[in-house]
Structure formats: structure tokens, C-alpha cells
Chains A and B, each alone.
Chain A
Amino acid sequence: MSNPPVAENAIIDMAGVTRQFNGVTAVRDMSLTVPAGRILGLIGPSGSGKTTAIRMLTGTLRPSEGRIRVLGEEPLHFSRAVREQIAYMPQLFSLYPDLTARENVGFVAALYGISWFGRRRRVKRALEIVELWDARNRRAGRLSGGMQRRLELACAIVHEPSVLFVDEPTSGIDPMLRLSIWNELRQMRDEGRTLLVTTQVVAEAEYCDQVALIADGTLIALGSPESLRESVFGGDMLELETDHAVDPEIVAGVGEVLSVTQPAARKLMLVVTDAGTATPLLMDAFSRHSVNVVRLEEHQPTFDEVFASLVQRHRAQNGTDAGAKARDAA
């Protein structure tokens, strides 16, 4: 199988990547690129293949097929120079519970060759970024779940990497902490770093520059959060409410309208080619039928809706969710 050429300026580049476990496909023909200084959110439900993908990108798993390049090198054969620019935050807590927060971060810093002299400052900065400096002398095993995740993040950033692979940083974390972690990730992006972040919280797509939706091991959509919304519904969505029950046929003749649904007797949901052009035309149509419009506003579908719609579409096209078990095992 021939792979497409490496995308220019791509920090992370996957092309036609497949991974199988004992004959069951966990990731199927995945292709994506991430340019420098961007956050790509790899989003999908549990067992969809996110961790398998991230482990292949970090070189801890070998792809069955396809080509992967990170910073121009194949992950299984990363040079030391490239490794020094990469950070990986695994999904499960994998630090040393008997070491303090500071010692854990110091140990990871030393793994990256940061000597005793430079380590002190870097460790302090990393712990301050994740707001754990005050807990620096507490043993990692005695920190709360949220603090442990932040400690792992501190370990991941202590050597100031240019590329971060972060596997489910907000898993099991309360909403306030989630926001705080995403703020930290976005700050890193703003400093010019490239991040690939996996999450099963679909709403977190909002925080990403690019979103890769993954289900059943297959990449079902890739793009900016806005473009994904549009791609799902094929245009802008308008939500319209009238003063009495209305027949949807009233808007059937309006050229801008692509589709109409009626969730309630006085309520219509319309997909139009362009909200600005369609609004006056719709008002005219209702006026002609002596119907008063009491509310008309553009509807922003949630990412849960977008994701559900895309997954349904994908499954309708492919007809199976086989492989989920294998991805769970992976």
C-alpha cells in the first residue's frame, strides 16, 4: 500500500495508519496532520481507538500499516534529539506514589537530561503552572485524582517540549479543574507548542483548534470545530417560535431553506444556506400567512449533537461497531 507524501510543515503526520490486535482492527486507515502551534483534539467514546492512536504516535506501539512522522521522524526510531522535544502524558496515573510531587517532576526532568543546576528552576515553574507548588512536598500517592493529573501534566511540561501528546487529561476531573487544565493546554499552545489531546468529553472540542472525531477505530471527521458543525447540518440552523401552531409547509417555498423539522406545534428548526439571507425571506413568508414570529435566532448545535449525528451517519454507512472490544483491550 502506497502512502501519501508527508504534509509540509506538519509536526504530526499520520497517513493510512492501521493497528490490529490479534486480527481485530483497533485503528483503521487513520490519516491526519497537525501543524505547529495547534491543538488537535482526538475525540471519541471510550474504546474508540484514541489511546492506541496516541501510543503509535509516541512510538510505544507499532502500527500494523501506514506511516507516521512526528517532527519528521518515525516514532519507533525517534532520535534522542526528537525525544527531548516530545512529552507524553499517559491516560493512567503512572508516577511514583512514594515520591513527592517535586521528586516526581524532578525525576522526569532528569530523564530528559536536565542537570541538577537547571532542574530546580524548571521543576518549580512546572509545578507553579499546574498550581501544585504548595503541594510540592506531598507524596504523589496521597494527592487527589485531579492533583495527580495536574502533577502528570507538570511532569510532561517540565522539559519544555515542543510537542505534547496528552491522553485524556480531564478524565475523572471535575468541571472547574477541567477548565483549568484546558487553560493550561491552551497557554502552551499560545507559547508555540503543538498538542495532540485525547478526550471522551465531546464538549471539550470547543477548546481545540482542530478536532478529529473517532469512532470504532475510524476517523469520521477532521476539521475546525466550526467547520464540523456546518458539515453535519449542511448550513446554518435557525430556531423559530410562533404565537400559535404553525404548518411547516409555510416555509416550503422559501428558496434558502434546506430542511425543516417541527419539535413542537409552535416551534420550527430550519437549516438554511445562509442565516442572514434567509431571515427576511422567512419573515415575509410568515407575514403572508398572518403568523407572528415571536422568536427567531441562530441555533448553535452542541458538540454532543454534532458528534452523535456524525457517529450515526458513520454507522449507518458502515453498519457495525465491531472492534470496540479490541480497542478496549488495547
Chain B
Amino acid sequence: MLHDAWRSLVRVTSFMGKELREVIRRPGVLLSLVIGPFLIMLLFGLGYTGARSPFDTEIVVPEGSDLPTDPGFYEDLAPGRIHVVSIGSDRPAAEQRLRDQKTDLLVIVPENATQELQAGRQTELLVAWNQVDPVYDQLANLAVSTMVSELNAEIIRQAAAEGISIAGGQLGTTNISPDVVAKPTKAVTSNVSPTKATVTNFFAPAVLALVLQHLAVTLTALSMVRERLGGQIDLFRVAPVNSMEVLVGKYIAYAILSLLVTLSVGALMVFGLGVPILSGYLAALGIVLLLTFASLGVGLLISLIADSERQAVQLSMLVLLASVFFSGFVLPVSDFIGPVQYFSYLLPVTHGIQTLQEAMLRGGVSTWWMLAALAGIGIALYLLSLLRLRSVLKSADS
């Protein structure tokens, strides 16, 4: 019994050593594995500001309008969101420039807003934009609604000032400011998050999780395919080695490699970009280990079902693509309809991103079920790979 266990250990370590040596002997692979993610992280941290340039806006103020023609007035209505490139009164020409994409936003202010308000009528502020990007479409909407609300406040302020002046002349003095009438409340805001909500802080754990999953999947996806196509699998079929020994050896080897890469990327993240790890290193490492375990399972399963190296690479890329879209990396998982959310939760990286962000930026994981899900996915994929490999090792007919 002890003798068998010892021999099993020898076999497991032989696979481990072989896999590690094979990767180390390919300097190109090693370089792209370690330096690649490192550079991606560095470029992301240093290069991404999250700031979007304001919309180039043209304002059409009809002749005779009582609204100002000063660009600064309109830019102050939505600070940082619009940049007034010109103010004029030629509406058709302005509309043509918008269609020609020479401007991003066109605002046509009403001719006599104050009088209309005083007369109890609503006036129309026409705003148009020419965007195909849905994100910019939403941003334009936001900029417009901020601007309209500020413009409304300005009109109210003007009307109030006039009203107060008349009332003051008839009734004496009044201590209500037109600004208060126009904006009776103002928001005093604060973000109570334990870490500063910066783009780097928020996306760094997500990038780490995505890089880790992609590495683990890519490394392992090719491993078994090569052995199946290269004929080494026949040696395993004849030798006294079982599927569990093969799998465990590969899991350990690739886990070591993945963790080495994670450590290098993590060190850059923490010491280079200043991303906090409020939960402490151990908790973050625990999540990374679970994510690695589950991701290796994805890669190994791919390598056991793919018919060629090309197919293995294609499947790995599909997993990456699905991860980018459905994991919450770009778009929140909650934005998807129910059934698609279930698909999102099948991806290890979905749980990895959420739990790593919570652990690192909030100091603890509130979604414990996600850690259980990661472990569950890992175990399920391990068992599936084990069954498949057992069948492959049984005979070439499988």
C-alpha cells in the first residue's frame, strides 16, 4: 500500500517536472507568459485614465433670444462634459455639421424661454447628436440631461430674479435669493468605500483574474493535445500510470507556473500601481488558488476534447472572448438577462473578478457563494477531465 503510494508520488512528480521543464525550455513561451501579462498590466495602469473628452458642441441661439451667447455659460451648465466649439444662429448649417460629424452635439435653445415660463408654457430645448457607439450615446444623454437641468435652473433663476424685483418694489424687501428659488437643494456627496474609486484600483483585480484564467487555460489546453497527437499518449496507455496521476502532475505544474505569473503581476499591481489589498495577502492568495484550480480544469478539458492544436487554441480564445464579455470585466453581469447570467457564472473568471475586487478593495468577500462556486467548478471540471482522460487512456478507440 505504502509502496504503491510512493510509486504514485513518483509518477505525479515526473509529470510535474516534465511539464515545468518543457515550459522553461521554451524561452519564448516563458517570456510571453511572464512579461506579457506584466506589460499588459503596466500599460493598463499607466495608460488608462478613465476620463472621456467632452463633446464638441455647437449652440444655436436664435436671433432675439434672451439667453446668453457666451460659450462659458453653456460649458458651465455641464462642466467637463461639453466643449462649445461655436455659437451661432444658422440652424440648417449647424445641423449639416452634425451630420458630417464635425460636431458631436447640437443644442438649439428656445427663442424666448423666460417669457414662455412667465406665461406658464413649456418651451423646447432641442438637442441632437450623431453617435453609433452606445456608450457615447448614453454619455451624450447624461450630458444633455445635466445641461437641461442646469439651463432650467438658470431660466427659473432669471424669472425668479425678475419676480422678486417686482415683488420687492411692491412689498418692500425680500430675503429669498433667486439662486435658492432656482435650486432649493444642493447635494453634499461622499463615497464611503474603504478605497478610492479609481479606474486602476477597480480594474486591476479584474485584469489579474482575467490574465490568470487565460494563462491557465492556454497553458493546459495545448498540453494534452500535443501528447495525444504526438503519440506520447500510447506510452501512457502501456505504462502503469493512471489518469489521476497524469492529471494531478499537470495540475501542480501549471498551478506553480500560473502562481509565479500571478505573483509577478500582483507585485506590479501592489508596489508599482499602488493597488491596495485590504483583505491581506493570504485571503487574496486563497482566491487566486481557487481561480487557478478552476481555470486549469477548463484548459485540461479543452485539451482532452480538442482534435488538434488549432482547435485547442480556438477554444481557448473563445473562452477568453466569453470572459471579456460575460464576466463583468467590461459590462456588469447584472445587465444581462437571467439565463445569460447563469452562463456568466459558469466562467471561473466571473467569480474571480468579483471576489478579488471585494477582497482587495473592500477588505472582505461578502459573496461567499462565489468562492464555493469556484471550488465547485474546479471540482466538476477535474472530475470531467479525469473521466475523459480515463477513457482516452483505456484505448485508442475511445
Question: Are A and B co-members of a single complex?
Answer: yes
Known: A83-B239, A86-B238. A113 touches B11 (CB 8 A): yes
Task: Choose among B239, B241, B397 the residue that contacts A62 (Cβ–Cβ < 8 A).
Answer: B397
Tell me if A125 counts as interface (CB < 8 A to partner B): no
Q: Which stretch from B125-133, B201-209, B227-235, B288-296 is at the chain A interface? A: B227-235
Tell me if B184 counts as interface (CB < 8 A to partner A): no
Footprint of A on B, CB under 8 Å? 4, 6-8, 10-11, 13-14, 17-18, 21-22, 25-26, 230-232, 234-241, 394-397
Q: How far is the CA of A113 from the CA of B17 in the complex (A)?
A: 14
Q: How far is the CA of A55 from the CA of B237 in the complex (A)?
A: 10
| Nearest B residue to A159, CB-CB | B239
Known: A62-B397, A94-B230, A112-B239. A99 touches B10 (CB 8 A): no
Residues of A within 8 A of B240 (CB): 80, 83-84, 111-113
Dominant secondary structure of chain B at its interface with chain A: helix
Tell me if A71 counts as interface (CB < 8 A to partner B): no
Per-residue contact bits, chain A 101-134, to B (CB 8 Å; 1 contact, 0 not): 0010011101111111000000000000000000
Residues A76 and B394 in contact, CB atoms below 8 Å apart: yes
Tell me if A88 counts as interface (CB < 8 A to partner B): yes
Tell me if A59 counts as interface (CB < 8 A to partner B): yes
Residues A88 and B21 in contact, CB atoms below 8 Å apart: no
Residues of A within 8 A of B234 (CB): 55, 58, 60, 88, 90, 94
Say which size band chain A's interface belongs to.
35 or more
Task: Choose among A59, A112, A113 the residue that contacts B395 (Cβ–Cβ < 8 A).
Answer: A59
Residues of B within 8 A of A87 (CB): 238
Residues B231 and A92 in contact, CB atoms below 8 Å apart: yes
Footprint of B on A, CB under 8 Å? 55, 58-62, 76, 80, 83-84, 86-88, 90, 92-96, 98-99, 103, 106-108, 110-116, 139, 155, 165
Q: How far is the CA of A327 from the CA of B6 in the complex (A)?
A: 41
Task: Choose among B18, B239, B396 the residue that contacts A55 (Cβ–Cβ < 8 A).
Answer: B396
| Nearest A residue to B393, CB-CB | A60
Residues of B within 8 A of A58 (CB): 234, 237-238
Q: How far is the CA of A113 from the CA of B241 in the complex (A)?
A: 8
Task: Choose among A90, A99, A103 the residue that contacts B235 (Cβ–Cβ < 8 A).
Answer: A90
Residues of B within 8 A of A83 (CB): 238-240
| Nearest B residue to A109, CB-CB | B14
Residues B237 and A98 in contact, CB atoms below 8 Å apart: no
Q: How far is the CA of A108 from the CA of B239 in the complex (A)?
A: 9
Residues of A within 8 A of B7 (CB): 113, 115
Task: Choose among B11, B14, B395 the residue that contacts A61 (Cβ–Cβ < 8 A).
Answer: B395
Known: A76-B395, A115-B6. A98 touches B239 (CB 8 A): no
Residues B235 and A88 in contact, CB atoms below 8 Å apart: yes
Known: A107-B14, A113-B240. A98 touches B22 (CB 8 A): yes
Task: Choose among B10, B241, B395 the residue that contacts A114 (Cβ–Cβ < 8 A).
Answer: B10
Q: How many A-B residue pairs have CB under 8 A?
A: 89
Residues A96 and B22 in contact, CB atoms below 8 Å apart: yes
Nearest 7 pairs of A and B residues by beta carbon: A110-B14, A94-B231, A113-B7, A83-B240, A98-B25, A88-B238, A111-B239
Known: A98-B22, A110-B14. A61 touches B232 (CB 8 A): no
Residues of B within 8 A of A90 (CB): 231, 234-235
Known: A110-B11, A111-B11, A114-B10. A95 touches B232 (CB 8 A): yes
How far in angstroms is the closest Cβ of chain B from A159? 9
Q: How far is the CA of A93 from the CA of B238 in the complex (A)?
A: 16
Q: List 14 A-B contacts (CB under 8 A).
A: A59-B237, A59-B395, A60-B238, A60-B396, A61-B395, A61-B396, A98-B21, A99-B25, A107-B17, A107-B18, A110-B10, A111-B14, A111-B239, A114-B10
Residues of A within 8 A of B239 (CB): 83, 108, 111-112
Task: Choose among B10, B21, B25 the residue that contacts A115 (Cβ–Cβ < 8 A).
Answer: B10
Q: How far is the CA of A113 from the CA of B3 in the complex (A)?
A: 10
Known: A60-B395, A83-B239, A84-B240. A113 touches B232 (CB 8 A): no
Supplied contacts A83-B238, A98-B25, 8 more A-B pairs, CB within 8 Å:
A58-B234, A61-B396, A94-B235, A98-B26, A107-B17, A107-B18, A108-B239, A111-B235
How far in angstroms is the closest Cβ of chain B from A136? 15
Residues of A within 8 A of B22 (CB): 96, 98-99
How far in angstroms is the closest Cβ of chain B from A306? 32
How far in angstroms is the closest Cβ of chain A from B239? 4
Residues of B within 8 A of A116 (CB): 10
Q: How far is the CA of A7 from the CA of B231 in the complex (A)?
A: 32
| Nearest B residue to A87, CB-CB | B238
Task: Choose among B11, B230, B237, B241 the residue that contacts A60 (Cβ–Cβ < 8 A).
Answer: B237
Residues of B within 8 A of A103 (CB): 18, 21
Residues of B within 8 A of A86 (CB): 238
Which of B18, B26, B231, B240 has the most chain A CB within a 10 Å cutoff? Answer: B240
Residues A61 and B6 in contact, CB atoms below 8 Å apart: no
| Nearest B residue to A86, CB-CB | B238
Residues of A within 8 A of B13 (CB): 110
Q: How far is the CA of A87 from the CA of B234 in the complex (A)?
A: 11
Q: How far is the CA of A84 from the CA of B14 in the complex (A)?
A: 16
| Nearest A residue to B29, CB-CB | A98
How far in angstroms is the closest Cβ of chain A from B100? 58
Q: How far is the CA of A280 from the CA of B7 in the complex (A)?
A: 69
How far in angstroms is the closest Cβ of chain A from B364? 44
Q: How far is the CA of A85 from the CA of B71 in the complex (A)?
A: 90
Residues of B within 8 A of A99 (CB): 18, 21-22, 25
Which of B14, B17, B25, B235 has the most chain A CB within a 10 Å cutoff? Answer: B235
Q: How far is the CA of A111 from the CA of B8 in the complex (A)?
A: 9
Q: How far is the CA of A146 from the CA of B260 in the complex (A)?
A: 39
| Nearest A residue to B245, CB-CB | A111
Known: A55-B396, A113-B240. A96 touches B18 (CB 8 A): yes
| Nearest B residue to A104, CB-CB | B18
Q: How far is the CA of A219 from the CA of B359 in the complex (A)?
A: 69
How far in angstroms is the closest Cβ of chain B from A317? 31
How far in angstroms is the closest Cβ of chain B from A224? 28
Q: How far is the CA of A80 from the CA of B240 in the complex (A)?
A: 5
How far in angstroms is the closest Cβ of chain A from B324? 31
Q: How far is the CA of A92 from the CA of B231 in the complex (A)?
A: 7
How far in angstroms is the closest Cβ of chain B from A209? 23
Which of B230, B239, B394, B395 has the most chain A CB within a 10 Å cutoff? Answer: B239
